Amino acid sequence: MIWDNAFAISIIPMLLKGLWVTIQLTLLGTLIAAVLGLVAAVIRRLNIPVLSPLVSFMVIFIRGTPLLIQAYVAFFVLPIYGISFNAFTTGVVIIGINYSAYMAEVYRSGIQGVPAGQWEAATALSLPPVRTWCRVILPQAVRTVIPMLGNYLIQMFKDSAVLSAITVVELMATAQSIGTSTYRYLEPLTMAGALFLLVSYPASRLVNKMERRYAPKQ
């Protein structure tokens, strides 16, 4: 098989459309993951009977099973029980929940990294718990983990290709479908890979920059 330049150029618009879906998946998925992960991390730390162990179990469960299986179950099994959404929505929610389990761990390390003296100062000032969390602990905890969250965003960007398996027409699925309809896989797959790289490389440079900027001070 020899590289066909004209063919490669002709499929660029389709691939860019796929890339745009991938980016949307990633941004919405990260949003869900960042919020759910934070909630999960705080609940675990609060040691609430029943609820905290339950959240811990879910984190272990989600981290311990492949994203592909979770996506399949959500898309092909849950509709049997009347829970069904379109492929894109299912994909966003599943990848968001999946990554929330990892982000919960990241937040946990951030929360643990806040010195005990900060909690003690909050107690000494009689700050109420909600205020202590929102104004004292979390701003410091989140700040230190922002680069790690950024890394997960980049990883999700690439992982979202898995969602092609549940018919989300993102970049990978677009490349695949071009391949099956034209019997040419070299150009679409190569160019899809190049597009992933084109976005993820600058993004990881940005994360590196953030790492320096948000390095713990004091």
Footprint of another protein on this chain (CB under 8 A)?
A: 115, 117-118, 120-121, 123-128, 131, 135-136, 139-140, 143, 217-218
Nearest to 187 by CA among 65, 49, 8: 8
Smallest distance, another protein to C-beta of residue 128, A = 7
How many residues in total does the chain contain?
Answer: 218
Give the nearest distance from C-beta 37 to another protein in angstroms: 21
The answer to whether 129 touches 64, Cβ cutoff 8 Å, is no
Q: Smallest distance from the beta carbon of 131 to another protein, in angstroms?
A: 5
Pick 101 or 145: Cβ nearer another protein: 145
Shortest Å distance, C-beta 52 to another protein: 18
C-beta of 66 vs 115, nearer to another protein = 115
Q: Identify the burial level of 162 via C-beta atoms within 10 angstroms of its C-beta, where 0-12 means exposed, 13-18 middle and 19 or more buried.
A: buried
Q: Please, which residue, 4 or 120, has the CB nearer to another protein?
A: 120
Q: For residue 80, give the amino acid letter.
A: I
Minimum CB distance to another protein smaller for 45 or for 184: 45
Q: Minimum distance between the CB of residue 140 and another protein, rounded to whole angstroms?
A: 6
Radius of gyration for the chain, computed over Cα atoms and rounded to the nearest angstrom: 21
Nearer to another protein, 126 or 181 (CB): 126
The CB-of-129 to another protein minimum distance in angstroms stands at: 10
- Tell me the CB-side half-sphere exposure of residue 149, using CA atoms within 13 A: 27
* Cβ-based nearer residue to another protein, 58 or 136: 136
Give the closest residue to 89 by CA, choosing from 21, 147, 138, 35.
Answer: 21
- 191, 175 in Cβ contact below 8 A? yes
- Residue 3 CB partners (closer than 8 Å, separation 6+): 186, 187, 190
